[in-house]
A and B are shown apart, each in its own frame.
Chain A
């Protein structure tokens, strides 16, 4: 029997949607290995998050304590290790958000486990599960085997559907292990506030690149008209035109909306790595040879500063 521990990413008051996609991945593993899925919620005042996760049919362990209020990898890894041992987990799984990327490798080290990052699917037969993951910015898909008894994974939310609610599981509290000396100290968090839908959850994403020359107003206006999220390339973020949180790509967010509109974006492999799973891709670029046109369903050659206002007008006139 190979149990699976799902480590939830959350926003203190609510579960991150990505955790439900990771739960689906955890379930797929459990159904092949014949084990059970357990959830783990760590933080302070996270009771409601635990309940929300439990409503999706999993038994949840919750470590609710002021000492683990901030997700410091040094401390959290000890909590996850304890939970993994308590539920005899063979697999420790989380969505590949920045928090899990920070914490889970330390968990792997503590458990003597091998770890695969950004898993997008499974291979192998029955309980012999292999893991598919992108390498070289998604130019290559590797099928890897983890040879250690315990295996740790982060999974890419866009490659798994969201788990549906089920018969509510139990919630029980997990006492903190001895955290020892923690050498990392939280100072502050400067949150990026936005009225727009979150990039990774939006049905439509409008992204801007260097072609905006720093003027993101057409990108934002079109996004608002469509109720879309705003995304960006590394070039736009590096220049300080938009917050880092909006970067789409190899080392930014991975998105898979119904519609992705790329404005003034060349289509570098590192950007494409984060959006090629979109259902429909529209590219507006003034260079007819821009690589983005090789992956766009609908390409329009033109100056975004002319095309976007026209597009906005055409969209109003139903």
Chain B
């Protein structure tokens, strides 16, 4: 079973992101980077499927600058077999990412593509669906599982996706509950937070990852025009919510809610 995962380099979601004074981009001073959290979940799931099936290959793809190799090395330290860097000089939008990935998929012919439900920088949440459409494949977005992340199944590192008889069974977190779909392979799946807890990279894993191959491609190699369909004109900070007051006790709180805020 061959699985391809997207790994995007993004700003660490645990730090505060601020806009540059001129609104051209975010302030990059002192910013740390990480693999997109949903992509780590994708890689973890791919590794579990490979382990459960006893064989296979997990290939990670990143579209970005040379520095994106760091995030791919992280995925390879977790256990992914090799990387493909599609080298771009400027950020690409989700549509261009999907068209580049489609070309990589045509070359690599994986059985399954697992992407994140969204990249936590642009928060668009489109690439997997676009990719599935460009490939003419079925899709299942927001993959999760019935069991919680504290369950025995999760502790046993069981995959949430079930691959059988040329199909992948996916439990999806959607509005109002959980939906189960069977998608014929090859297919595109995107991950939700509750699909798994990604493993940590072990020291031997990190050492091994340094020797794993990373192929470099360009949009020109793939014949893809990456001119964005969605252009960012400017960035601004959202209106700040002012801190209110601390109340000393419940009686004051109720009094304020009744007479000042008038919400109860």
- Say whether A109 contacts B98, CB under 8 Å: yes
The distance in angstroms between the C-alpha atoms of A258 and B132, with both chains bound, is: 40
B155 at the interface (CB under 8 A from A): no
The distance in angstroms between the C-alpha atoms of A82 and B121, with both chains bound, is: 33
Q: 1/0 per position for A212-227, CB-CB distance to B under 8 A?
A: 0000000000000010
**Chain B proximity of A210: nearest CB distance (Å):** 12
Contacts of B198 in A (CB 8 A): none
Q: How many A-B residue pairs have CB under 8 A?
A: 263
Least CB separation from A191: chain B residue: B177
Contacts of A143 in B (CB 8 A): 232-236
- Say whether A117 contacts B250, CB under 8 Å: no
Q: 1/0 per position for A82-123, CB-CB distance to B under 8 A?
A: 000000000000000111011111101110011111100000
A66 at the interface (CB under 8 A from B): no
Least CB separation from B187: chain A residue: A183
The distance in angstroms between the C-alpha atoms of A280 and B241, with both chains bound, is: 11
The distance in angstroms between the C-alpha atoms of A143 and B129, with both chains bound, is: 23
- Say whether B126 contacts A108, CB under 8 Å: yes
The distance in angstroms between the C-alpha atoms of A191 and B177, with both chains bound, is: 4
**Chain B proximity of A304: nearest CB distance (Å):** 12
- Say whether B253 contacts A282, CB under 8 Å: yes
- Say whether B178 contacts A244, CB under 8 Å: yes
B193 at the interface (CB under 8 A from A): yes
Least CB separation from B121: chain A residue: A136
Q: What does DSSP make chain B's interface, helix, strand, loop or mixed?
A: mixed
> A residues 168-212 with Cβ under 8 Å of B?
182-192, 204
Task: For A141, give its contact among B150, B179, B237, B251 (CB under 8 Å).
Answer: B237
- Say whether A243 contacts B177, CB under 8 Å: yes
- Say whether A307 contacts B176, CB under 8 Å: no
Least CB separation from B250: chain A residue: A310
Are A258 and B263 also in contact (CB < 8 A) when A102-B129, A117-B124, A299-B245 are?
yes
B182 at the interface (CB under 8 A from A): yes
The distance in angstroms between the C-alpha atoms of A183 and B132, with both chains bound, is: 11
The distance in angstroms between the C-alpha atoms of A146 and B251, with both chains bound, is: 52
Least CB separation from A284: chain B residue: B253
- Say whether B229 contacts A114, CB under 8 Å: yes
Least CB separation from B139: chain A residue: A73
The distance in angstroms between the C-alpha atoms of A312 and B237, with both chains bound, is: 38
The stretch of B13-21, B46-54, B74-82, B199-207 that contacts the partner chain: B13-21
- Say whether A135 contacts B193, CB under 8 Å: no
Q: Which of A141, A204, A258 has the most CB of B within 10 A?
A: A141
- Say whether B230 contacts A140, CB under 8 Å: no
The distance in angstroms between the C-alpha atoms of A145 and B137, with both chains bound, is: 29
Task: For A106, give its contact among B26, B129, B233 (CB under 8 Å).
Answer: B129
- Say whether A190 contacts B261, CB under 8 Å: no
- Say whether A300 contacts B130, CB under 8 Å: no
B174 at the interface (CB under 8 A from A): yes
Are A141 and B182 also in contact (CB < 8 A) when A102-B141, A136-B120, A270-B13 are?
no
- Say whether B246 contacts A139, CB under 8 Å: no
Least CB separation from A308: chain B residue: B250
The stretch of A23-31, A38-46, A233-241 that contacts the partner chain: A233-241
- Say whether A140 contacts B250, CB under 8 Å: no
> B residues 138-178 with Cβ under 8 Å of A?
138-142, 144, 146-151, 167, 169, 173-178
With A73-B141, A135-B122, A136-B17 given, name 18 new contacts (CB 8 A).
A101-B125, A102-B139, A105-B130, A105-B133, A106-B129, A138-B238, A140-B26, A141-B236, A144-B232, A147-B228, A185-B183, A186-B181, A204-B263, A204-B264, A243-B177, A293-B246, A296-B244, A298-B256
Can you give 14 contacting A-B residue pairs, CB < 8 Å? Answer: A105-B133, A106-B129, A117-B125, A142-B232, A184-B139, A187-B182, A240-B147, A240-B148, A244-B178, A251-B117, A299-B244, A299-B245, A299-B246, A299-B247
